[in-house]
Amino acid sequence: MKKALLILLLVGSLILPACTNMSKTQQGAVSGGALGAGAGLGISALTGGSLGMGAVIGGALGAVAGGLYGDEKQKQE
């Protein structure tokens, strides 16, 4: 669990600074993916499921939701 959390934090710290030159859609997808992966990892840890699968599914769903949200914000501008 600690190793997976450390990897997630390391990847997040490398990805998030690169968001400055992205569109709102891209920023939303990256942020949503990171948050979704963290949430999926946490939920899997609490329920006793596969940590990797929880992170992958959560990340995918978060990226889609974040991309849709960012796209909507971009259309409003």
d(CA 31, CA 36): 8
pLDDT score for 63? 93
In terms of Cα–Cα distance, which of 7, 11, 4 is closest to 45?
4
pLDDT tens across 6-49, in order?
A: 776 776 666 666 656 788 888 889 889 989 998 998 899 899 98
Tell whether pTM > 0.75. Answer: no
